[in-house]
Amino acid sequence: MVVLWAMPDSSRRPAIVNRVIAVEGALILLAWGVAWFLDRPLFELIVFDRAGIAAGLLATVPPCAAMVWSTRTTMPPFPGVRRDVERLIVPLFRGVSWWDMAIIALLAGVGEEIFFRGLLQTGLAGWAGLWPALLLTSILFGALHWVTPIYALLAGLIGLYLGAFMAVSGNLIVPILVHVLYDFFALRYLAGRGRALAAGSSTTTAEHGGDAAAAGPPQPRTGS
């Protein structure tokens, strides 16, 4: 019997998992260090209350629905984005377990939201105003997720969405929940897409192999 709750051996993790853990962990430490140096509240912005949790759960639905729609539409530029994702991102997460996906999503959601929405956006809002802070933070967020220019633009729009919920609620738990749940949903989709692509490739290879076997060995050429 397979023990579903057993934690996988970290030494066998794909390299991308350890890389993400290191980067997101460093981001949390950086945000905490800067906030401590500037004597600014940071973790106090995370409030576990019913309103914040409910808002975070509900706010997760639109970006997840938008992602599903983007995988099926033929409207530009989404077909090109899909090809880029399948070519550049899907292979990175091949073989990643659901447990590691949960760790990645949790660390990315906490680390990036504490840094971008908790530290940068709130800090810039006090200096330049809400809208400049929201736009600048979203641009930086998109740049951090640069894969292609269009991908970075879409990531920046998601950053704008998360920043708006932070600005309205004042509770960092809202964008953290959205970010964590969306990332986990997206990673599960990427894993499924990777398996589908691998299965399609295997089927194509088998079909070509079967055609070659049916044709038999090459016949010697006869002189004319």
The upper half-sphere exposure of residue 10, i.e. CA atoms within 13 Å in the direction of its Cβ, equals 4
Which residue from 82, 90, 47 is spatially nearest to 176, judged by alpha carbons? 47
Can you read off the two tokens belonging to residue 175? 């964008």
Q: Would you say residue 213 lies in a domain?
A: no
Q: Would you say residue 77 lies in a domain?
A: yes
Q: Give the pTM.
A: 0.84
The model's confidence at residue 2, banded by pLDDT at 50, 70 and 90, is very low
Please indicate whether residue 160 or residue 10 has the higher confidence score (pLDDT).
160
Please indicate whether residue 165 or residue 12 has the higher confidence score (pLDDT).
165
Which residue from 142, 144, 175, 130 is spatially nearest to 30, judged by alpha carbons? 144
Please indicate whether residue 105 or residue 194 has the higher confidence score (pLDDT).
105
Q: Would you say residue 9 lies in a domain?
A: no
Can you read off the two tokens belonging to residue 194? 């990777």
The model's confidence at residue 199, banded by pLDDT at 50, 70 and 90, is confident
Q: Tell me the C-alpha distance between 116 and 132, whole Å.
A: 14
Q: Residue 87's pLDDT is what?
A: 92
Which residue from 180, 191, 174 is spatially nearest to 108, judged by alpha carbons? 180
Q: Tell me the C-alpha distance between 142 and 86, whole Å.
A: 19
Which residue from 41, 24, 45, 65 is spatially nearest to 174, judged by alpha carbons? 45
Region 70-96: what's the mean pLDDT?
Answer: 92
Q: Would you say residue 109 lies in a domain?
A: yes
83: domain range?
50-196
Does residue 49 carry a pLDDT above 70? yes
Q: Would you say residue 55 lies in a domain?
A: yes
Q: What is the 3-state secondary structure (H, E, C) of 73-86?
A: CCCCCHHHHHHHHH
Peptide bond connecting 77 to the previous residue in cis, omega within 30 degrees of 0: yes
Contacts of 166 (CB under 8 A, 6+ apart): 113, 117, 118, 121, 122, 172, 174, 175
Q: Would you say residue 220 lies in a domain?
A: no
Domain count, the chain: 1
Q: Would you say residue 63 lies in a domain?
A: yes
Q: Would you say residue 45 lies in a domain?
A: no
Q: What percent of the chain has pLDDT over 70?
A: 83
Q: Residue 3's pLDDT is what?
A: 35
The model's confidence at residue 103, banded by pLDDT at 50, 70 and 90, is very high
Q: Residue 92's pLDDT is what?
A: 87
The model's confidence at residue 122, banded by pLDDT at 50, 70 and 90, is very high
